[in-house]
Chain A
Amino acid sequence: MPYEPVISKYWKTPESWTLKQYQSRGDYWGYAAAKKAITEFEPKALISYVKDSNLRGRGGAGFSTGLKWTFLPENGKPRFLAVNADESEPGTFKDRQILAYDPHQLIEGIIICCWAIGAKHAYVFVRGEFVREINRLQSAIDECYAAGILGEDVLRLGKGFKLDITVLRGAGAYICGEETGLLSAAEGKRAYPKIKPPFPAVEGFFRFPTIVNNVETLSNLPHIVGKGKEWYLQQGPAAGPGPKLYCISGHVRKPGVYEAPLGTKLRTLIDEYAGGVIGTLKAIIPGGSSMPIFTPDKLDLAMDFDTVRSAGSFLGSAGVIVMNDSVCMVNALLNLAKFYHHESCGQCTPCREGLGWLEKLVHRLEFGHAHDNDLDLIKEVCGMISKRTICLLSDSLVMPVESYMKAFFKEFEYHVKEKKCMTGGQPGVWAPCEEPALAR
């Protein structure tokens, strides 16, 4: 493969998560990039530099990171960085690799970000189930304090730059990955998303200006600073360039996390990286389970934020889920409906009640109890709950429901009329799948 991985370059190296190994990599690695950022850039200049690199958020929305940083108000209030490491989207498993195999890369990104935005304290909110990852990250932070990289004088540069990093553990809820839900949870409350506006950059953590960035996003920063924005802009489409971690799962021969520049073709990812489809390809989710689904005709699509969006879906977290023709789409949808209904925080009526009803409706569809007008009812419920809530969780189910029904309408109709599966499978039972291969 011609592409030389950047973020995942050292993941296979033994002890890659230690400070010693991190500092032995040479070039701009080992906190040289952070040092460069602090000594060569004023914070404002650094923000513009990152903005000019067109780095876009890797958490799902693909919003310009540098632009987000400029939203911080100049009101003299302390600012915070909250690192979103609550990776919970089904089909997404990239951030945990960074935490486990290269936590120093993330810490360096945090240092660069905090220097730019003027934060003295960063909180990393990690999904509670990531025990190994939390331990690796915490020991890396401890190493940094011991080495004078973090603390009263970051990297001992005498710039008066103080930075603390605190790791917070989630208690296991999908909604903690929503940025305001994450902040509520970090404040010690139930992870209820907050009304926007005000956006976190204006009023976030304990109502102080707060930037919430994803792990992978921050891990891009050392490379932008180290290799320069000119290099960065050449990695994929200029409107949203850079290395990207694609998580490929489902009916492929070699599921796993693969790094490739943004804009890599879907076909390349599936066939060349993930070893090809097992059986006959039926459907692809491009960006994590909440995104609208693609049929095989979209295989030649370039996987970057704008192209995927114009094709009717979203790159999201780049969690590519591949399904072959053994999958019943109603069954697959029921699985998602169960998940999103269970993860609804219960705050807004449309989501709390609506997702419950969507699950009920899909459930009776799958098990052959559908009423004649259920498909219309599903459509209507979707239309009524979508974008009517404080956060976007309800849309995370509405998007798949609408797109599955559109792309595979015949299957849904078959379930209503024939009361059984078109693929011949048992209702509610998943077709056997090959044991997933270990990550690359």
Chain B
Amino acid sequence: MAQGIRLTINGKVCSGEQGETILQVARREGIYIPTLCHDDRLKSIGACRTCIGEIAGVKNLQSTCTYPASDGMVVDTENARVKSVRKVVCELLLSDHPAELKPGEQVQPRENDLLSVCSHSGAMESRFRTGRTSEARVDVSHPFIAFDDDKCINCFRCIRGCNEVQGEDVLTMAGRGFSAFIANDYNKNYLDSTCVSCGQCVQQCPTGALEDKTLLEKGKWDKEVKTTCAYCGTGCSMIARVKTETNEVVSIRGNDKSPVNYGHLCVKGRYAYSYGRHKERLLHPLVRESRDQPFRRASWEEAVSMVVRNLRRIKDKYGPSACAGISSSRAANEENYLFQKFVRTFFGTNNVDNCSRVCHSPTAYGLREAYGESAGTGGYEDIELAKVILVIGSNPTEAHPILGDRIRQAARRGAKMIVIDPRRTQTAREADLHLPVRPGGNVAILNAMAHVCVKEGLIDREFIARRTKGFEQLAAVLEKYAPEDVAALTGVDPELIRQAARLYGGTGGQSVIHYGLGVTEHSHGSDGVLCIANLATITGNVGKPGAAVIPMRGQNNVQGSSDMGALPQTVTEYQKHNDPVVRELYRAVWGTDLPTDPGLKLPQMFDAAVEGKLKFLWIIGEDILQSDPDSNHVEAALDAAEFVVGQDLFLNETNKKAHVIFPAASFLEKEGTFTNAERRIQRIRKAVEPPGECKSDFEIIQQVANVLGANWNYTPASIVSEIARVTKVWAGVTFDRLDSSEGMQWPVWDGQHEGSRRLHTEKSMHKDGLIKLHALEYHPPGDELSEEYPFELTTGRKLEQYNVGTQTRRTGISVYDTEDRLEIHPEDAKRLGVLEDDWVEIKSRRDAIRLRAQVTNRIREGTVFTTFHFPETALNRITSGHHDGPTMCPEYKFTAVSVMRVGGREEPAEKHQHGAVPLSGEVPVESERAFEVHVPAGAARRQ
């Protein structure tokens, strides 16, 4: 326990703790001390000298941001001596600042710390003015960031932000003395540096020397709206800055107070938001009678009545089970809840699923089986508390950049990092141990690690005895999994596995596991999740500070969409819909009975459609034809359905097959909540009005339901109260409570409970309170390697793109990335005669596609890797059609393929076998082009 101290700052008696700096105490007590080079996230360097103060008994003036507070200390930061020094410091800082910027005027479109500190210090004019220097460097090469050297005051914040928060070390100081300046690596411009465009430097800059280009182009914002990022499942809190006059977001900053991201954002969150005003945005409902007709613009009433008419027709003709709805992990909790209620009430079926089916359904299943709750056992704070961080099947710096940064920063501070991944990702390069496992070898390698832990006494016997069941069976199975025995399955040096197990098991209960889709998207993905739970449990790494199992959720609301019951067999919080108690509860709240049919999972829906059993399909915010595996099958399913409703921001491959398309609102245009990977329920808020006639998913569902006779009058807030009534873990959640906090981690048991940072601390959430261990054997992947198909194809995400790119491809971020490439190991490439940039054909048992090759040792020999961001690639035409047993999560991460060179660097005449997904004739859309594409000035294609 830190010792309490009392000190006097500017006449006010303050209490603090030993080890705090004077500035920390002052800030907490609400005493203003001007600072320029200080930021709470960064190590103080005491360089700008504006925070100086006079300390009684200390000869020289000291920087309060570095000077430790001590008991009985008397500090004055506003006496004449300090003020006169601070004034000269400010004058000196202003000396080569552009003369048009004057303290007291907010000429910048954002806060300008320098000018306000100068105003505070009375330095309204500098006696040292030289004005804008002629040799000033201005760098506008970057698509989002502009740099004006003249405004720079060398406070080092951008440099430290780049190093200490993002961990990229792109920026540095060059030169010395008066002529010192900020340089990128290679000392070239921003675009050609290794910058990952996280924008931390811009957020840090106190003078506007580094500034978002959008702000410079579009001018001042006048409204700030706190909301939550809608890309990956990290759930970063952000502040959208809105210009109400033009109804547009002009800049996004991280929310400094958020315990998720502490103000940090990645390139997607901070800069890839302009898709909302892209010219291809759907602005009004589109309808057509049949697929051979072009879409035509329709009124909302007409579109809704067309949907209602067809829904009634099909339901009457084929029965409720011929109808299905696909909800979206991209949509808000309230929308998912309302949609599953809508489907269950008005379709009369449990045929509702969401897109987390194809990513983290094994997590929902596996963690529930093991711990009794389908969620991560701890929070992100455990990253900083852990001694060892194990990352499996995840490329966090590209797919979950903010978590990636937190993990890497923790590793830099001394935590050990182990990465199990077929690719040598950035985290793998910086890890203490990298285990390049063969795709499909997760169960083998995790069992092998558990084997070593058991054999070498690294398990927590007391924890196992008191908290778990099933250890004997597990131990018996593990006997067979000595690292040496499974070397062929894992493809990893047994000694490496032993070292990893010793590291992970040797912390005495201070190890965290972060895993991603590399674990779940396998034909035995659920087994992989259960093996992770086994390993964590037997070593006692559950429910303690610094000990947790945390799934890296791929999309913003993967956790929430499933929590909300947009699943065929469960309603909210994974309560079984056939449980009598649950049915009773729902009857009381909904006033209707839950349907009794088993419900179809997403892939089953496609099968049913192809078989002619499913006729009506409503798809919200997912491009299943691009993102779900075995696209040919999906396409056949869509073609077979009699009536398809799409609901999206853009015309995509899927809703080109639809009969009615509802134009939806983006996350910046609606109210609601998202739940992130650490169970944190966070608000999203309406920053701008939806363009055209767009409506939020919530409004659309409610409008259709009301035509069907629902008489609903919900608001997002009132939905939350209803969710709270049917969901124990949401019992204490209200909009008001979410608004007054930085989000709440469910379970929130009642109106007083603050939420749960960790689960299973005393007992698991199973009825018996025990954690269940599962004795699992390795099974080979669904798709089989053969002489004809000798390569393992695995897939993933790139930093600058997001999934099928519906959003990111429509922003300035495209400067960085214009195509999917096939990563192939140099040895494999040599054997196949493939050179960098050559065109290659990848063929699987289902189909073949063509890509350009990227020869790199990032990937292991025998495995190839590619992304799926561009529709031209049509990657999912070839991916495996196999599924995980219990959850039907597709086997994206393993497809047996052959690779063949088909052409040189120059594009071959026949580019693709398929080209983009073939359309059923051209689909002319008479949509008004309200917006122009926003191409940031100076954005050039990076070579």
**A residues within 8 Å of B by Cβ?**
173, 175, 190, 195, 197, 341-350, 352-357, 377, 380-381, 384-385, 387-390
Question: Do A357 and B92 have beta carbons less than 8 Å apart?
Answer: yes
CB closest residue in chain A, given B127:
A377
- The smallest beta-carbon distance between B539 and chain A, in angstroms, is 29
CB closest residue in chain B, given A361:
B128
Among B61, B88, B154, max chain A CB count under 10 A is at B88
B403 within 8 A of A: no
Question: Do B180 and A357 have beta carbons less than 8 Å apart?
Answer: no
A283 to B605: give the CA distance in the assembly, Å: 96
Picked from B52, B61, B92, B176, the residue with its CB within 8 Å of the CB of A354 is B92
A29 to B47: give the CA distance in the assembly, Å: 47
Question: Do B177 and A341 have beta carbons less than 8 Å apart?
Answer: yes
Evaluate whether A343 and B177 lie within 8 angstroms (CB atoms) in the complex, with A195-B45, A387-B60, A389-B49 already known.
yes
Question: Do A355 and B177 have beta carbons less than 8 Å apart?
Answer: yes
Evaluate whether A384 and B178 lie within 8 angstroms (CB atoms) in the complex, with A346-B173, A357-B128 already known.
no
B48 within 8 A of A: yes
Picked from A345, A346, A350, A389, the residue with its CB within 8 Å of the CB of B92 is A350
Residues of B within 8 A of A388 (CB): 49, 52, 60-61, 85, 89
A385 to B60: give the CA distance in the assembly, Å: 11
A175 to B68: give the CA distance in the assembly, Å: 26
- The smallest beta-carbon distance between B620 and chain A, in angstroms, is 52
Question: Do B176 and A346 have beta carbons less than 8 Å apart?
Answer: yes
Question: Do A346 and B180 have beta carbons less than 8 Å apart?
Answer: yes
8 smallest CB-CB distances across A and B, nearest first, come from: A346-B180, A356-B178, A353-B92, A384-B88, A344-B177, A387-B60, A195-B66, A347-B47
Contact with A along B122-141 (1 / 0, CB 8 A): 00000110000000000000
A385 to B84: give the CA distance in the assembly, Å: 11
Can you show 27 pairs from A to B with CB atoms below 8 A apart? A173-B176, A175-B176, A343-B177, A344-B177, A344-B178, A346-B173, A346-B176, A346-B177, A346-B178, A346-B180, A347-B45, A349-B47, A349-B50, A349-B89, A349-B93, A349-B153, A350-B92, A352-B177, A353-B93, A354-B92, A355-B177, A355-B178, A356-B177, A377-B127, A380-B88, A388-B52, A390-B46
Residues of A within 8 A of B95 (CB): 353, 357
Residues of B within 8 A of A380 (CB): 88
Picked from A342, A381, A387, A390, the residue with its CB within 8 Å of the CB of B88 is A381
Residues of A within 8 A of B47 (CB): 347-349, 390
A380 to B92: give the CA distance in the assembly, Å: 12
Residues of A within 8 A of B88 (CB): 350, 354, 380-381, 384-385
B924 within 8 A of A: no
Picked from B45, B63, B180, the residue with its CB within 8 Å of the CB of A352 is B180
Question: Do A349 and B177 have beta carbons less than 8 Å apart?
Answer: no
Residues of A within 8 A of B59 (CB): 387
Question: Do A345 and B176 have beta carbons less than 8 Å apart?
Answer: yes
Question: Do A342 and B60 have beta carbons less than 8 Å apart?
Answer: no
Question: Do A350 and B49 have beta carbons less than 8 Å apart?
Answer: yes
A384 to B154: give the CA distance in the assembly, Å: 19
Residues of B within 8 A of A349 (CB): 47-50, 89, 92-93, 153-154
Residues of A within 8 A of B176 (CB): 173, 175, 342-346
Chain A binding surface, main DSSP class: helix
Residues of A within 8 A of B44 (CB): 195
CB closest residue in chain B, given A356:
B178
CB closest residue in chain B, given A381:
B88
B921 within 8 A of A: no
Residues of B within 8 A of A195 (CB): 44-46, 63, 66
Residues of B within 8 A of A348 (CB): 46-49
A282 to B48: give the CA distance in the assembly, Å: 39
CB closest residue in chain A, given B175:
A346
A385 to B63: give the CA distance in the assembly, Å: 13
A377 to B95: give the CA distance in the assembly, Å: 14
- The smallest beta-carbon distance between B743 and chain A, in angstroms, is 36
Taking A197-B68, A353-B92 as known contacts, 5 extra A-B pairs with beta carbons closer than 8 A to each other, sorted by chain A number, are: A344-B176, A344-B178, A347-B45, A357-B128, A380-B88
- The smallest beta-carbon distance between A189 and chain B, in angstroms, is 10
Among A349, A352, A356, A387, max chain B CB count under 10 A is at A349
**B residues within 8 Å of A by Cβ?**
44-50, 52, 59-61, 63, 66, 68, 84-85, 88-89, 92-93, 95, 127-128, 153-154, 156, 172-173, 175-178, 180
CB closest residue in chain A, given B153:
A349
Picked from A197, A342, A344, A384, the residue with its CB within 8 Å of the CB of B85 is A384
A389 to B470: give the CA distance in the assembly, Å: 64
- The smallest beta-carbon distance between A220 and chain B, in angstroms, is 30
Picked from B48, B52, B175, B178, the residue with its CB within 8 Å of the CB of A341 is B178
A384 to B156: give the CA distance in the assembly, Å: 22
A219 to B66: give the CA distance in the assembly, Å: 36
Evaluate whether A353 and B61 lie within 8 angstroms (CB atoms) in the complex, with A348-B47, A388-B85 already known.
no
- The smallest beta-carbon distance between A379 and chain B, in angstroms, is 12
- The smallest beta-carbon distance between B158 and chain A, in angstroms, is 15
- The smallest beta-carbon distance between B461 and chain A, in angstroms, is 32
Residues of A within 8 A of B154 (CB): 346, 349, 352
A68 to B44: give the CA distance in the assembly, Å: 26
Residues of B within 8 A of A345 (CB): 176-177, 180
Residues of A within 8 A of B49 (CB): 348-350, 388-389
A390 to B65: give the CA distance in the assembly, Å: 12
Residues of B within 8 A of A355 (CB): 177-178
CB closest residue in chain B, given A192:
B45
A389 to B92: give the CA distance in the assembly, Å: 14
CB closest residue in chain A, given B44:
A195
- The smallest beta-carbon distance between B92 and chain A, in angstroms, is 4
- The smallest beta-carbon distance between B79 and chain A, in angstroms, is 15
A354 to B61: give the CA distance in the assembly, Å: 17
A232 to B130: give the CA distance in the assembly, Å: 56
A6 to B159: give the CA distance in the assembly, Å: 50
- The smallest beta-carbon distance between A388 and chain B, in angstroms, is 6
- The smallest beta-carbon distance between B658 and chain A, in angstroms, is 59
A346 to B179: give the CA distance in the assembly, Å: 8
A344 to B175: give the CA distance in the assembly, Å: 10
- The smallest beta-carbon distance between A338 and chain B, in angstroms, is 10
Residues of A within 8 A of B68 (CB): 197
A377 to B92: give the CA distance in the assembly, Å: 12
Residues of B within 8 A of A384 (CB): 84-85, 88-89
Residues of A within 8 A of B63 (CB): 195
CB closest residue in chain A, given B36:
A349
A356 to B154: give the CA distance in the assembly, Å: 14
Residues of A within 8 A of B92 (CB): 349-350, 353-354, 357
CB closest residue in chain B, given A196:
B66
- The smallest beta-carbon distance between B84 and chain A, in angstroms, is 7
A190 to B181: give the CA distance in the assembly, Å: 13
- The smallest beta-carbon distance between B595 and chain A, in angstroms, is 64
- The smallest beta-carbon distance between B514 and chain A, in angstroms, is 29
Residues of A within 8 A of B45 (CB): 195, 347
A153 to B180: give the CA distance in the assembly, Å: 46
CB closest residue in chain A, given B177:
A344
Residues of B within 8 A of A346 (CB): 154, 173, 175-178, 180
A343 to B177: give the CA distance in the assembly, Å: 6
A302 to B779: give the CA distance in the assembly, Å: 89
Among B63, B127, B153, B176, max chain A CB count under 10 A is at B176
Residues of B within 8 A of A357 (CB): 92, 95, 128
- The smallest beta-carbon distance between A238 and chain B, in angstroms, is 28
A354 to B68: give the CA distance in the assembly, Å: 27
- The smallest beta-carbon distance between A389 and chain B, in angstroms, is 7
Residues of B within 8 A of A356 (CB): 177-178
A357 to B91: give the CA distance in the assembly, Å: 11
Residues of B within 8 A of A377 (CB): 127
- The smallest beta-carbon distance between A26 and chain B, in angstroms, is 48
A354 to B49: give the CA distance in the assembly, Å: 12
CB closest residue in chain B, given A347:
B47
- The smallest beta-carbon distance between A95 and chain B, in angstroms, is 23
A34 to B44: give the CA distance in the assembly, Å: 42
A393 to B66: give the CA distance in the assembly, Å: 19
CB closest residue in chain A, given B66:
A195
